[in-house]
Structure 1
Amino acid sequence: MASSSSTNAGSSIAYLIPEFPGQTHAFFWRERARLHRLGDRVAIFTTGKPPEELRARHAWAEEAEALTRHLTPLDARALRDIASELRRAGREGLARVARAMAASEAPTPMDRVKLGGALLLGARLAAEARREGITHVHVHSCANSANVAMLANRLSGLSYSLTLHNPLDCYGPNQPEKWRHAAFAIVITRAIRDEVEEELAGALPPRLFIAPMGVDEEAFCREAAYEPYAGEGPFRVFSCSRLNPVKAVDDLVRAIAGVAEAGVDVELRIAGADDVGGQYQAQVEALAKELGVADRVHLLGSVSEDVVLGELRRSHAFALASLAEPLGVAIAEAMAVEVPVVVTDAGGVPELVTHEESGLMVPPRAPERMAEGLLRVAREPELARKLSRGGRETVLRGFHSGVSAEAIHEGVKEALGGGAPRADLRRARAAGE
């Protein structure tokens, strides 16, 4: 997407991100930096702190924590702000809120409690935005944080937008009302766009853009040219994901066992924390021991972006065995660093990876096929070089964080009356580019 808008006047906007800054939130920080380049000032709000085990460990985490404003807990000042905002809304604003809440889907008592809490947080968000001169809020979630922004809009008129990072069913009820009042929305893949247009027909905002979760292609790059495996020392495979059954790390361990059985001295290093209470990590470790590859499989835990970058630069291949992957930021990071990727074709991955051109794709739950792909990278240096080049070229064409940043920048300008719709963004939606 073109970057000519960097000369345009920016806006004072805010992100609303649940449990920020979390370990998987690097993409948001990169996108924010790109928005700053475009001239936008971006504050950050969150509905609560992340659990300690999922807190960001990146170099930027301390700065992010210092900049982030928390909507909870509700202290005395927050309660005064909420009361003031409710009074300021008057009968008209309260009537809009009442209509929105009456139209909202809240099928369980807990959903109704959450909706009431979202109204309080929406009033606080509106008050904070008014105080700081913030004119638009972009919500990086379609769960309850989207209710917060929607109710802030109904109460005060505060403009908001959404990014949908996963299929709709990941984000709970009330999707039509969350989307109906948004100025625009971003979805990360064509497949998710198609789902949204079918499921939310009649409730979509006036603008719907496709923009992937992108990579900082300037930081995620090589210091030296990629060298395929030459048969000496270990064939180094890296993976980066949460330790969660949906990531099928157990299948990846089985694939590594298959590579070792084929006579290749293979080493697997996995970055990522267990987010299901440690049970899955114990299962993975037990499986590696059972298969005789415990000395080949290394679990690094939660690590910083710098560590991930270092691991990618020293690796011969990247592998991910996910059962469901909306797009795959970790895959795109590996491609940006010119590491050949061997990944499952689950979810939106085929929109990022072209088989035999920018990576190798295999079906989910087929560790023997993943082993075959890894063996090809280990034994076919020309293929490895081709995939290395193709991956980087793919990221530069449209999977970097500047794409989503410009979509937000242009969407906010249009929403606030600062410019006509950009032709390239309209084409992106029409053509699914």
Structure 2
Amino acid sequence: MGVSVALFSTRPPPQGLISHDWSDEAMTRTTYLGDLSPLNSLAALPRLPLLALWRDLRQGGSGFARDVTVSLPAARRLAQAARARGITHVHAHSCGRAALICALANRIWGLDYSLTLHGPLSDYGPGQGFKWRHAAFGTVITRKLTRELRAALGDDTPKRLFLQPMGVDTEVLTRSTPYTPAAPDGPLRLFACGRLNVVKGHQDLLQAVRLLRDRGLDAKLEIAGEDDAGGTGFHAELQTELERLNLQDHARLLGAIDADAVRAKLEQAHLFVLASWHEPLGVAYMEAMAMGVPTIGTDAGGVPELITSGKDGLLVPPKRPDLLADAIAALAADPDRCRSFATTGRSRIVEGFSSARGARTLLDGLALKDDLHL
């Protein structure tokens, strides 16, 4: 779209999460702001309008003063880098620490910023009023979260707030071969993709697979994704559960795999299943549906804004492995419905959840000038 993009982050990702063929290039392009030097915090103090800033910060809540102190050096580095590169606006792709860094850079050094809400506001730490009230605009990924944000922020809600469900590249995520349902006498290939965290419900999906196998259905499951620690956290607990259920020969944890590998797994899958306890929206669902894979999810969070159960996928209650197993078995036994979901699911993503829509929302929100750089 003709926009020059500069990348900033607080720190490099853990080694176990570096999986894409473009990771090294992206890390080289990224300026990392992580800098906990007390001297840099002190260097910012003479520029602070202390009384005004105190009034701005005092309602931040427990732990907010610590977060501000830790974030000041990164805010200073961001402002310096933006000034050096002629950047006048930064978009924080989170309302966590990134948004605090941007808000501080705005209040002290005048850097314009915007931010995005991806999930429940309570997940992103204290000081949300401070983070949002000075933003040029905000974006939110679902209507449900937009309502919750307005109720929580009140007068601190930015005047300009846009629905931006992110989205996926539907030109890349497209099949090379037509979708084929599982054969009645063959294995049922299930695929899930998502961060290894208890709220993603992978343990419920493993239990559903155990139930299906006990019923005589040859269900095979692969789960792509890694925990936030790069493999030393919830991954081990999930592997233990897999072994407890005696699924060693029927289920695998793939860890972090690159985008091409995910695409290949989706093309091989008969069904995509994600059993999240709570999902603000679900990019993994979008990827699967864009690839024409019949998709089963949970009626949790913002997922119903993405999947209309019975029309372009199926939704079941979260934390119900028994109902999940029932839905998988019923859909696998209905090849015509599988083919229908493959078609209607992709249409749903192409029409409403293309990544180009998310990019255009940012550009429209900024009302970009010809020479403005992000």
Instruction: State how far apart, in whole Å, the 1-side matches of 2:302 and 2:312 are.
Output: 15
2:266 aligns to what? 312
- 1:287 deviation in Å? 3.1
Whether the aligned pair in 2 keeps the contact of 1:238 and 1:315 (CA below 8 Å) is yes
Instruction: State how far apart, in whole Å, the 2-side matches of 1:153 and 1:287 are.
Output: 47
Determine helix, strand or coil for the equivalent of 1:268: strand
Whether the aligned pair in 1 keeps the contact of 2:60 and 2:128 (CA below 8 Å) is no
Instruction: State how far apart, in whole Å, the 1-side matches of 2:370 and 2:108 are.
Output: 21
2:339 aligns to what? 385
Letter in 2 for 1:380: D
Matched, 1:191 2:144: yes
Q: How does 1:3-402 map to 2 (within 5 A)?
A: 38-53=1-16, 55-73=17-35, 79=40, 83=43, 94-95=48-49, 98-104=51-57, 105-108=59-62, 110-275=63-228, 278=232, 280-402=234-356
Ranges in structure 1 where 5+ consecutive residues have no aligned partner: 1-37, 419-433
Instruction: State how far apart, in whole Å, the 1-side matches of 2:238 and 2:33 are.
Output: 38
Compared with structure 1, are the counterparts of its residues 417 and 220 closer, same or farther at alpha carbon in structure 2 (3 Å cutoff)? Answer: closer
Compared with structure 1, are the counterparts of its residues 144 and 289 closer, same or farther at alpha carbon in structure 2 (3 Å cutoff)? Answer: closer
Instruction: State how far apart, in whole Å, the 2-side matches of 1:200 and 1:313 are.
Output: 43
Determine helix, strand or coil for the equivalent of 1:41: coil
Per-residue CA deviations over 1:243-298 (Å, capped at 9, x if unaligned) read 21111211101111122223221110011113366464344333333333321111
- 1:68 deviation in Å? 0.4
Instruction: State how far apart, in whole Å, the 2-side matches of 1:339 and 1:157 are.
Output: 47
Instruction: State how far apart, in whole Å, the 2-side matches of 1:417 and 1:133 are.
Output: 13
Ranges in structure 2 where 5+ consecutive residues have no aligned partner: none
Letter in 1 for 2:66: V
Instruction: State how far apart, in whole Å, the 2-side matches of 1:56 and 1:341 are.
Output: 27
Instruction: State how far apart, in whole Å, the 1-side matches of 2:224 and 2:54 are.
Output: 42
- 1:39 deviation in Å? 1.3
Determine helix, strand or coil for the equivalent of 1:264: coil
Whether the aligned pair in 2 keeps the contact of 1:332 and 1:399 (CA below 8 Å) is yes
Determine helix, strand or coil for the equivalent of 2:221: strand
Determine helix, strand or coil for the equivalent of 1:201: helix
Whether the aligned pair in 2 keeps the contact of 1:100 and 1:177 (CA below 8 Å) is no
Whether the aligned pair in 2 keeps the contact of 1:209 and 1:407 (CA below 8 Å) is yes
- 1:79 deviation in Å? 4.8
Whether the aligned pair in 1 keeps the contact of 2:196 and 2:235 (CA below 8 Å) is yes
Instruction: State how far apart, in whole Å, the 1-side matches of 2:243 and 2:33 are.
Output: 46
Instruction: State how far apart, in whole Å, the 2-side matches of 1:49 and 1:185 are.
Output: 25
Whether the aligned pair in 1 keeps the contact of 2:60 and 2:126 (CA below 8 Å) is yes
Letter in 1 for 2:26: A
Instruction: State how far apart, in whole Å, the 1-side matches of 2:236 and 2:76 are.
Output: 44
Instruction: State how far apart, in whole Å, the 1-side matches of 2:35 and 2:71 are.
Output: 13
Instruction: State how far apart, in whole Å, the 2-side matches of 1:208 and 1:240 are.
Output: 30
Compared with structure 1, are the counterparts of its residues 317 and 208 closer, same or farther at alpha carbon in structure 2 (3 Å cutoff)? Answer: same
- 1:301 deviation in Å? 1.0
Whether the aligned pair in 2 keeps the contact of 1:253 and 1:284 (CA below 8 Å) is no
Instruction: State how far apart, in whole Å, the 1-side matches of 2:110 and 2:234 are.
Output: 45
Instruction: State how far apart, in whole Å, the 1-side matches of 2:234 and 2:226 are.
Output: 10
- 1:98 deviation in Å? 4.3
Letter in 1 for 2:14: P
**Count of residue pairs the alignment pairs up:** 370
Instruction: State how far apart, in whole Å, the 2-side matches of 1:41 and 1:256 are.
Output: 47
Compared with structure 1, are the counterparts of its residues 48 and 280 closer, same or farther at alpha carbon in structure 2 (3 Å cutoff)? Answer: closer
Letter in 1 for 2:157: L
Per-residue CA deviations over 1:177-235 (Å, capped at 9, x if unaligned) read 11110000000001100001111110111210011131111111100111111224311
RMSD (CA atoms): 2.4
Letter in 1 for 2:4: R
Whether the aligned pair in 2 keeps the contact of 1:150 and 1:181 (CA below 8 Å) is yes
Instruction: State how far apart, in whole Å, the 2-side matches of 1:287 and 1:222 are.
Output: 33
Instruction: State how far apart, in whole Å, the 1-side matches of 2:225 and 2:23 are.
Output: 16
Determine helix, strand or coil for the equivalent of 2:115: strand
Instruction: State how far apart, in whole Å, the 2-side matches of 1:161 and 1:338 are.
Output: 34
Instruction: State how far apart, in whole Å, the 1-side matches of 2:325 and 2:157 are.
Output: 43
Compared with structure 1, are the counterparts of its residues 191 and 417 closer, same or farther at alpha carbon in structure 2 (3 Å cutoff)? Answer: farther
Percentage of identical aligned residues = 41
